[in-house]
Homo-oligomer: A and B are copies of this chain.
């Protein structure tokens, strides 16, 4: 079946189901990359909403550089879901986060979409195994989880469900790469995937602090924007701590700060820091450092932090 699939690089026409912030963001992204997009949403003002979202995103997309042939007029808003998907090379679903709704909607999309076309869901946290159970051809359904706004933030997490063929997961990952995204292909389903689990951990801790009067919304946001948020565009949490370990890297960091994993620094209980976990963290960081020693990593991080701070300063002065 996957033999008759349009090659990822040959996709020309995309169906986007859902006209919320995420659905509209996908529409803007695909239009800016030169695709024809047919969208559908049950809301009576779907067309108006979508055009407003695209218009809001377009200056940023123009600034970043539009693909050849990219045109806002390549957007059609269909009257029915069936019309939207009938002729698509790829379908991206971005309905509200409601499992029953998604199960029904994906079944409808599945029934109306040519059987060799991959269907991807923007779900923030449901697994495809949960969502695909009412589909007759579940093998081509994947999660393609973007970040807000999908027209700017590169990350898409791709993962299949139990009923998904590996070829569909591979196809979707390749397609998203062609469409300009940074793809993480997950081998197994985890609720919330990767980035949302990390982000959700921050978010829940923040809610606890506000609920307990330990910090205000403003203090929480400032603690990130003036603190670790300035390091994260270049190095993620692991490589950041690899650097915090100084010349001893992650190994020193875990040996030195390991005991603080027992400290009540968050409501989240830490895992046991077994020798195996320690070694995985250390070797993962060594791989990520890719031969760069502490001095090189420090110099790169410093350049990045300075560039980010300058950019933020300029925005503040301009605003």
A residues lining the B interface (CB < 8 Å)? 20-21, 56-57, 59-60, 63-64, 96-97, 124-125, 147-149, 152-155, 157, 182, 184, 186, 188, 190-211, 213-241, 243-246, 256-257, 259-261, 263-274, 276-277, 280-281, 284-285, 287-288, 295, 298-312, 314-315, 318-319
Contacts and interface: CB of A to CB of B under 8 A. Distances in A.
9 contacts: A59-B302, A198-B223, A198-B224, A203-B237, A204-B266, A207-B261, A211-B272, A229-B232, A304-B315
Contacts of A218: 284, 287-288
Given A214-B190, A304-B315, A319-B300, A270 B238 contact: no
Given A192-B265, A220-B194, A206 B256 contact: no
A83 B219 CA distance: 37
A253 B145 CA distance: 18
Contact of A97 (B184, B243, B257, B276): B257
A209 B193 CA distance: 10
A267 B268 contact: yes
Nearest to A124: B260
B308 A314 contact: no
Contacts of A280: 210-211, 217
A56 to B, nearest CB: 6
A275 to B, nearest CB: 12
Nearest to A284: B217
Contact of A304 (B191, B239, B259, B311): B311
Given A205-B198, A218-B284, A220-B198, A308 B306 contact: no
A241 to B, nearest CB: 7
Nearest to A53: B246
A154 B180 CA distance: 33
Contacts of A233: 225, 229-230, 232-233, 308-309, 311-312
Nearest to A214: B190
Contacts of A299: 56, 59-60
Contacts of A209: 190, 194, 197
B124 A257 contact: yes
B234 A312 contact: yes
A117 to B, nearest CB: 26
Contacts of A227: 147, 153-155, 195, 199
A204 B269 contact: yes
B195 A224 contact: yes
Contacts of A21: 244-246
Contacts of A281: 207, 210, 217
A270 B232 contact: no
A182 B274 CA distance: 37
Contact of A217 (B20, B153, B232, B238): B238
A214 to B, nearest CB: 5
A293 B51 CA distance: 18
A247 to B, nearest CB: 9
